[in-house]
Structure 1
Amino acid sequence: MRKGIHPAYGPVVFRDRAAGYAFLTRSTLTGDQTVEWEDGRTLPVVDVEISHVSHPFYTGTARVLDTAGRVERFERRYGKQG
């Protein structure tokens, strides 16, 4: 790999403000703010709108669309192929 063309890759804290949850990972993103992590290190923090803690799919609050009603309405309107 060529040197000097890749962005810096290091530890970053991603913080879900809605759920009050933060997790440490590695990324090329950097934030303007910093936070002191559990081990005492000061790391850049990136605020995110949604994470696996607050996403409806992962929390079990996702709504399922009623597709059976749509199929029945289509068959009623256009007839069932037999």
Structure 2
Amino acid sequence: MKEGIHPEYNEITVKLSDGTEFKTRSTMDPEDGVYRSEVDSKNHPFYTGNMNYQKKAGRIDRFKKRYGNSDD
């Protein structure tokens, strides 16, 4: 490998939102050596199946109310 062109590859601790921690190696360099994840497979709606479609329906209704129903 060529010298001086590759990023440092250090061990970091990944801390998930539920408190689970594990160690891995990465080129990322957090200041304290810990990467804190806000979203992971235990709390993301895509993985949990708790999608909230109510907001989308509200936007569609507001659009139809504002611009009229084009189904006529």
TM-score range relative to shorter protein: 0.5 to 0.7
Q: Which has the higher helix share?
A: 2
Partner of 1:12: 12
Kindly state the Cα deviation for residue 69 of structure 1 after the two structures are TM-superposed.
3.2
Q: Which has the higher strand share?
A: 1
CA pair 9-55 structure 1, distance change in 2 beyond 3 A: same
Matched residues, percent identical?
A: 34
The structure 1 segments of at least 4 consecutive aligned residues displaced by more than 6 Å after TM superposition are none
RMSD: 3.2
Give the TM-score of the pair, scaled to structure 2.
0.52
Give the TM-score of the pair, scaled to structure 1.
0.49
CA pair 8-15 structure 1, distance change in 2 beyond 3 A: same
Kindly state the Cα deviation for residue 19 of structure 1 after the two structures are TM-superposed.
1.9
Q: How many residues are matched? A: 70
1:29-72 deviations in Å (ceiling 9; x for gaps):
34565xxxxxxxxxxx4141424155443445554443223323
Unpaired segments ≥5 residues, structure 2: none
